[in-house]
Amino acid sequence: MSYWLVKTEPEEYSFNDFISDTNVVWDGVRNYQARNNLKAMRKGDKVLVYHSGKIKEIVGIAEVIKEHYLDPNDKSNTWVVVELKAVNKLKKTITLNQIKHEKSLSNMPLLKQSRLSVMPITKNQYDVIVSF
């Protein structure tokens, strides 16, 4: 099993929207590295959902329910999507500031490549975050 972090703008699509929809096609990714990360996702992988709006914070957990396939909205056949299922909202959100100050999270891609919208994280990083 692998672990991931995906970003969403809460003003456009919040985790509450995600919970209401239950299962969603994670689309709109238009960065090659993020696309390659989508391609690496496997059914059952755990995904942290991060709000990248005004208050930057990890808000919930999702799971990959369908592996990548071509984005039906992309006529160039370059981009892919995955399908995710909302698992649960975190009891306490984890802010970017908290992540920056937690030594065990200092190597997270979120801190190294802040603009990347889909990124791998380690099991240890995942465990630390969900245990906050």
Q: Does domain 3-130 have CATH number 3.40.50.9100?
A: no
| Domain coordinates in residue numbering, the chain | 3-130
126: helix, strand or coil? helix
Residue whose tokens read 């071509």: 70
19: helix, strand or coil? helix
pLDDT band at 89 (very low <50, low <70, confident <90, very high): very high
Mean pLDDT to the nearest integer, 3-28: 95
Write the CB contacts of 69 (distance below 8 Å, at least 6 apart in sequence): 80, 81
| Each residue's pLDDT tens digit, 43-74 | 999 999 999 989 999 999 999 999 999 999 99
Q: Against a cut of 0.85, is the pTM above it? A: yes
Return the DSSP state at 104.
G
Mean pLDDT to the nearest integer, 91-107: 96
pLDDT band at 22 (very low <50, low <70, confident <90, very high): confident
Backbone angles phi, psi at 60, to 5 degrees: -165, 180
Q: Where are the alpha helices (DSSP H) in 41-107?
A: 96-100
